[in-house]
Structure 1
């Protein structure tokens, strides 16, 4: 009976627990700044190490539960999962945090058009690392035309923070600014939410089921904040003017749910007339753009069920489903861009096939489909940008294992050529593009993991 109980706990309950911890908890992160080609100041990329939850820490927790409680029915409750998450943060702080971070310096010699240097360091120069992995990264003009935001959504055992580094367009970063944004923040977006010409920060917190808005004062601080409660754990977030009142509204979606929530911005710090819009399929990702050139933001959704749905905005905050395109595979990533310079927004997406696909917009509410084969197994589309300065957006993909970045150069007629693959020693998770050193070329900045380390790397192209 004991063996049967142990098997049940490990194979059923803790498999689900490990998935939950992997997706929601173990992305604990630290402060970071890049050092590239010696141009940046002495800021460091802080990469704290931490123990794998599904190794001996999880084993200890399994043993403790089994010996003390057996398998109570409460273990299946939502409240118990919340308790487990907080408990594992506690275990992380006591057991796994006592590790040293270390320096990493890497320069590629395999590719003449690639230079890359990054390093990690202990933040306090002591024996204990207080920081670890980066989860998301963004770039935005923040305080003035001369300064760029280089922001990391970070967290550790003490909570979640927004770390901001200002780039003076010459490759030099200022000291970091750190702002608390919750405990388990999972998504971050930016926009002028109160029409004061300043970029504000919007985040979602998974466990507290809330949206937080940090209002930019313009003097490198965020003072006031608005907290909006939600009924579910939101894991997708975006902002756009949905009802045409020149106010940015908030759009969120939820894990394994088939509806989105729209919070309409009243312009005075309040959000009213919350609208829930249901879809026919479970939502995995969505993007917002004007798909039919009527100057109104539409919503394009990638579904777990193997299709893409396009929802046209009537202009009053309501939508009609225009079409459903069957992919027959789960849509893992979805982006929007004009891929053939015809002034129409096309849909770029990837599934578990490892290829990426493009739905070219004809402008007549129809699309023609093209599949672009790649040599990246299990890759996802991560970014769209003009890498080689030919005025045509290119496609950047990553795969989680073995860990590669692929760049696919767009010819402009619906075809792609000159596939360039950069093998890495880490597993790239997210990519952003920005000309961070003002040389007229886009840099690829990626975050990922390398065993128990977090990694932030920059690829500089000389096309």
Structure 2
């Protein structure tokens, strides 16, 4: 679903477009080089990807569906063969493959090419890991406790996978340089072993064996950002069962101090462990948030040039905001009501006041919630908009070229994408 937003930050009623069955992931990108953002969805129920081309006025063509390999669960849109056309890469959960669909040049795509990866790939990232200016594929495989790396040969085909062990049931992955050697490393969140795995890039696109760090129970999401302004990227996880966010501060060479674990009660509070004041001995800090945090975002919401943490909390129907104090610790939580079972959260300025707002996709109530920033990192009560059945993912982008951000949601049970345009 896409919702267009009005200048007063209200949205028009949704326009709904059909997709394949059970769309699980969505990407907004220009796939036919007309400078208009198109929509690509991965449809797990029909084993397809849907491409909806932007007509230029915020409306979209009927979907063109392309066959995937089996239950596509994640999608990326990147030019993989250096022809200045965006291609599609999908992770296929059931058949343990990734598929590449090359762009024919007019927004249509070739028949997929499938590449085996590990068991039940949950997420896929496309980025250059071996410094040859060709984007490679990294997939995280929950069923085989591994990540797969496939090197780009230069013409849009990929080498056979190289597989690396990570922790139990990896759920999420990010690829970024965590040890300041200008080589992207792999960071995976492992939901069963309650760890994060770091695989350091050796410089040629191969990776060292994992180094693991304990976090709190059931990390479902991982982000990497410098939270204490020391120019070293830190790791943030959203931990589903104990209702926490964990922050691991970087010591400066890509290692992280051992975790100190504290039980937290039902009342919101924070605990800082050992030294977290940027003296080269940073530790891990755990904060209470709402129940079952399902999605985490990192953004500066109070304009102090320090990244804050925002979580969508599935069971209590809230979002939590943790403001960065500037030394790697965070304030006690601020909690805001949203719709039922928020499944995905996006943070972006939707009302052109230069402060980021919060948008959630609420799986249980078939709505999106928009919380406008008051300008100081606190938020107005939610405004609720109806979307399709069981919205699972939300993206904010200007789809009708009016310089106003719109909302795009994929609705898993409705087999649709909803668009809310800004008037």
Structure 1 and Structure 2 fold alike (TM over 0.5): yes
Give the Cα–Cα distance (whole angstroms) in 1 for the partners of residues 43 and 402 of structure 2. 28
How much has 1:187 moved relative to structure 2? 1.3
1:245 pairs with 181, 188, 208, which one?
A: 181
- Counting only pairs closer than 5 Å after superposition, residues 103-118 of structure 1 correspond to structure 2 as none
How much has 1:281 moved relative to structure 2? 4.1
Give the Cα–Cα distance (whole angstroms) in 2 for the partners of residues 237 and 313 of structure 1. 18
Aligned partners of 2:22 and 2:413 also within 8 Å: no
- Are residues 150 and 434 of structure 1, via their aligned partners in 2, closer, same or farther at CA, if it must alter by over 3 Å? farther
2:107 pairs with 159, 166, 173, which one?
A: 173
Give the Cα–Cα distance (whole angstroms) in 2 for the partners of residues 293 and 230 of structure 1. 29
Give the Cα–Cα distance (whole angstroms) in 2 for the partners of residues 381 and 298 of structure 1. 22
Give the Cα–Cα distance (whole angstroms) in 2 for the partners of residues 322 and 117 of structure 1. 46
Partner of 2:134: 198
How much has 1:282 moved relative to structure 2? 4.1
TM-score, length-scaled by structure 2:
0.71
Aligned partners of 1:47 and 1:120 also within 8 Å: no
Partner of 1:292: 228
- Counting only pairs closer than 5 Å after superposition, residues 41-440 of structure 1 correspond to structure 2 as 119=62, 134-140=72-78, 147-148=85-86, 151-154=89-92, 160-164=97-101, 173-176=107-110, 178-181=112-115, 182=117, 184-223=120-159, 225-230=161-166, 232-279=168-215, 281-303=217-239, 304-320=241-257, 321-327=283-289, 329-351=291-313, 352-369=315-332, 371-417=334-380, 419-435=382-398, 439-440=402-403
Query: CA offsets, 1:313-346, max 9 Å, x none?
Result: 1022221334221236332221101112211100
How much has 1:363 moved relative to structure 2? 0.8
Query: CA offsets, 1:329-371, max 9 Å, x none?
Result: 3322211011122111001113222121211112133322453
Secondary structure of residue in 1 paired with 2:347: strand
How much has 1:30 moved relative to structure 2? 11
How much has 1:35 moved relative to structure 2? 12
Partner of 2:3: none
How much has 1:151 moved relative to structure 2? 4.8
Q: Which protein, 1 or 2, shows the higher relative CO under an 8 Å CA cutoff with sep ≥ 6?
A: 2
Greater radius of gyration (CA): 1
Secondary structure of residue in 2 paired with 1:319: coil
Aligned partners of 1:334 and 1:347 also within 8 Å: yes
- Are residues 149 and 459 of structure 1, via their aligned partners in 2, closer, same or farther at CA, if it must alter by over 3 Å? farther
More helix by percentage: 1
Give the Cα–Cα distance (whole angstroms) in 1 for the partners of residues 149 and 104 of structure 2. 23
Query: CA offsets, 1:366-386, max 9 Å, x none?
Result: 322453533412224421223
TM-score, length-scaled by structure 1:
0.66
- Counting only pairs closer than 5 Å after superposition, residues 3-14 of structure 1 correspond to structure 2 as none
Give the Cα–Cα distance (whole angstroms) in 2 for the partners of residues 438 and 139 of structure 1. 20
How much has 1:133 moved relative to structure 2? 5.7
Query: CA offsets, 1:388-412, max 9 Å, x none?
Result: 3433222120111231122222232
Give the Cα–Cα distance (whole angstroms) in 2 for the partners of residues 121 and 430 of structure 1. 20
Give the Cα–Cα distance (whole angstroms) in 2 for the partners of residues 382 and 367 of structure 1. 20
How much has 1:49 moved relative to structure 2? 5.7
The CA RMSD over aligned residues, in Å, is 4.2
Give the Cα–Cα distance (whole angstroms) in 1 for the partners of residues 344 and 229 of structure 2. 24
Give the Cα–Cα distance (whole angstroms) in 1 for the partners of residues 25 and 322 of structure 2. 38
Give the Cα–Cα distance (whole angstroms) in 2 for the partners of residues 35 and 192 of structure 1. 21
Contiguous gaps of at least 5 residues in structure 2: 1-20, 258-282
* Corresponding position: 1:461 with 2:415: no
Partner of 1:59: none
How much has 1:184 moved relative to structure 2? 2.0
Aligned partners of 1:46 and 1:120 also within 8 Å: no
Aligned partners of 1:254 and 1:260 also within 8 Å: yes
